[in-house]
């Protein structure tokens, strides 16, 4: 029996905030927005293609769930729609002025510098390093006996950081991975939350209590990057044989210069881009893996089929790096996990000039919202939208998914530059984890997805580890939990 023939799977509806029947009042809205913005949405937001949101302290907004209208905003007329001040305020205090927050000419210049590192050839060349990071993570997990409760979010974050260190940062972080992960998580938890100061638009030099609490983490991460930059400047790599496949993020940023002016990136732009790739690059993949393991714990039939696929492809040869084309179900699990729990759950844009989308006039200065959390669970766009069904993304069904109804990496010119890298990494790491371990949610722990810059489980994701016998052949189902 082929893996694809294992679908349809049993219905599993994972936890999510229940839609509200009516909009919140101003004070309740502010409390929800600063605690967990996922809790502000009404049932209408999950059902209608356009929703005019009431003017409160943020002002009137248009929620857009129509795929063709989203195409207009993100692709056809993307130059007319820029990030709004509130979104930029939160992003810039967490990841600075790097590629993700830059606009216009600054964005084009930075993307041109970084793009060669994420070409199809370069990404496929990273497979051995990704496999090595996964195996190092497996070795760390193997030291824990059966029944150990581990925070899977922390474990997957460490593996994702290791992948970055082995691929995009050739000289390493010069700081232990676990320490980098702790600083990054605490900083994004504190600085990535919406605060009353943000909503009221008070001056950014007023930091707020949450930001004050994580200043030490910010300083530690900045100091780490400064050391990396200083070490590279002191001992630059030899140019002989250096191409997109052998360069890393740091060498590309330091060598960048405009052909006409000869002016390169500023010291801050280099630092902020490094911080962006460390923070966003490991947070998104680490949480995607965590949500996938959580969902599989609630869907034993899907997990058994994914384990069988991983066993069949990996066999006993741990050195052979499988590609995502060899793992259609494991890849589908990752994609469905990013549908239900998108690591980037919120986008907003402000119109520079008047426009028309979906037959609706958009005035200059209007704020439009595209919310993958809502879009991916929309009643008109998905069958059984709240059910975990990776079969949606198997080869025989994935073409039926509307292009602009699924935005795990955004879309258009500003689509995530590392999307192919992240999907390859997450698929490969998940397959190797499934071939050796089985995780189940710790009894009594309630999972609550919470929106910061990324979507994360509040309080972590404690799961019980069980060892599986390492595959001894390429036969699917050759091993069982012990």
Query: Count of domains in the chain?
Result: 1
Residue 284 belongs to domain with CATH number: 1.10.630.10
Q: Map tokens 């970084």 to a residue.
A: 114
Per-residue model confidence (pLDDT) at position 320 = 57
Residue 369 lies in a domain: no
Q: Is 454 domain-assigned?
A: yes
Q: For residue 318, is it within any domain?
A: yes
Nearest to 355 by CA among 104, 48, 76, 88: 76
Q: Which residues contact 161 (CB under 8 A, 6 or more apart)?
A: 173, 177, 180, 181, 278, 282, 286
Residue 238: the pLDDT is 64
Beta-bridged to residue 440, according to DSSP, are 464
Minimal CA–CA distance to 249: which of 216, 282, 218? 282
Q: How many CA atoms lie within 13 A of 390 on its CB side?
A: 27
Three-state SS at 401: coil
Residue 102 lies in a domain: yes
Peptide bond before residue 8 is cis, with ω within 30 degrees of 0:
yes
For 279, what's the count of Cα atoms within 13 Å in the CB-facing half-sphere?
34
Query: Is residue 25 in a domain?
Result: no
CA distance 299 to 10: 7
The number of residues in the chain equals 482
The CA distance from 184 to 218, in Å, is: 8
Burial of residue 48 (number of CB atoms within 10 Å: 0-12, 13-18, 19+): middle
Q: Is 305 helix (H, G, I), strand (E, B) or coil?
A: helix
Domain that holds residue 125: 4-13+98-342+385-467
Residue 211 covered by a domain: yes
pLDDT per residue of the chain (482 residues) written in tens, 0 to 9: 333 334 567 789 998 999 999 998 888 988 888 899 999 999 999 999 999 987 666 667 899 999 999 999 999 999 999 988 877 777 777 877 788 888 888 888 888 888 888 888 889 989 999 999 999 999 999 999 999 999 999 999 999 999 999 988 888 898 898 899 888 888 887 777 777 776 667 667 677 777 778 889 889 999 999 999 888 888 776 655 454 445 688 888 888 765 566 677 788 888 888 888 888 778 899 999 999 999 999 999 999 999 999 999 987 666 655 678 899 999 999 999 999 999 989 999 999 999 999 899 999 999 999 999 999 999 999 999 999 999 999 998 988 888 899 999 999 998 999 999 999 999 999 999 999 999 999 999 999 999 988 899 999 999 999 999 766 544 344 444 44
Predicted confidence at residue 282, as pLDDT, reads 86
* pLDDT of amino acid 237: 67
Q: How far is CA 133 from CA 158, 177, 292, 304, 471, in A?
A: 9, 12, 18, 24, 19
What local confidence, expressed as pLDDT, does residue 474 receive? 45
Whether residue 362 is contained in a domain is answered as no
| 70 in any annotated domain | no
**pLDDT given at position 233:** 85
């Amino acid at each position: 029996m082929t893996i694809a023939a294992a679908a349809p799977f049993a219905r599993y509806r994972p936890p999510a905030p229940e839609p509200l029947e009516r909009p919140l009042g101003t004070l309740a809205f502010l409390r929800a927005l600063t605690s967990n913005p996922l809790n502000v949405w009404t049932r209408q937001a999950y059902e209608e293609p356009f929703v005019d949101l009431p003017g409160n302290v943020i002002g009137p907004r248009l929620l857009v769930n129509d795929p063709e209208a989203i195409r207009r905003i993100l692709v056809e007329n993307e130059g007319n729609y820029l990030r709004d001040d509130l979104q930029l305020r939160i992003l810039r205090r967490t990841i600075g002025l790097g590629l993700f927050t830059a606009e216009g000419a600054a964005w084009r210049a930075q993307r041109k510098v970084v793009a060669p590192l994420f070409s199809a050839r370069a990404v496929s060349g990273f497979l051995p390093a990704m496999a090595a990071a996964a195996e190092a993570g497996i070795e760390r997990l193997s030291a824990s006996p059966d029944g150990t409760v581990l925070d899977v979010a922390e474990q997957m974050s460490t593996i994702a950081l290791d992948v970055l260190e082995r691929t995009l940062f050739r000289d390493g972080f010069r700081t232990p991975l676990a320490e980098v992960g702790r600083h990054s998580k605490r900083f994004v938890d504190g600085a990535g939350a919406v605060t009353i100061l943000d909503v009221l638009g008070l001056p950014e030099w007023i930091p707020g209590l949450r930001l004050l609490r994580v200043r030490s983490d910010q300083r530690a991460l900045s100091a780490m990057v400064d050391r990396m930059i200083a070490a590279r400047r002191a001992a630059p790599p030899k140019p002989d044989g250096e191409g997109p496949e052998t360069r890393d993020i740091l060498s590309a940023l330091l060598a960048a210069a405009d052909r006409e002016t000869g002016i390169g990136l500023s010291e801050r732009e280099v630092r902020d881009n490094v911080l962006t790739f460390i923070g966003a690059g490991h947070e998104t993949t680490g949480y995607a893996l965590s949500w996938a393991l959580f969902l599989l714990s609630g869907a034993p039939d899907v997990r058994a089929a994914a384990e069988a696929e991983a066993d069949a492809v990996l066999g006993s040869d741990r050195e052979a790096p499988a590609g995502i084309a060899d793992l259609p179900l494991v890849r589908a699990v990752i994609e469905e996990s990013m549908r239900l729990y998108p690591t980037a759950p919120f986008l907003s844009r402000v119109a520079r000039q008047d426009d028309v989308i979906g037959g609706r006039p958009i005035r200059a200065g209007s704020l439009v919202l595209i919310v993958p959390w809502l879009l991916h669970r929309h009643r008109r766009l998905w069958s059984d939208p709240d059910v975990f069904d990776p079969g949606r993304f198997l080869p025989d069904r994935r073409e039926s998914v509307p292009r602009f109804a699924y935005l795990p990496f955004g879309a258009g010119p500003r689509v995530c530059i590392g999307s192919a890298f992240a999907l390859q990494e997450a698929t490969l790491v998940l397959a190797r984890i499934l071939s050796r371990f089985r995780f189940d949610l710790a009894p009594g722990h309630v999972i609550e997805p919470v929106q910061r810059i990324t979507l994360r489980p509040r309080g972590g994701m404690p799961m019980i580890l069980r060892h599986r016998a390492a595959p001894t052949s390429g036969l699917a189902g050759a091993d069982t939990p012990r």
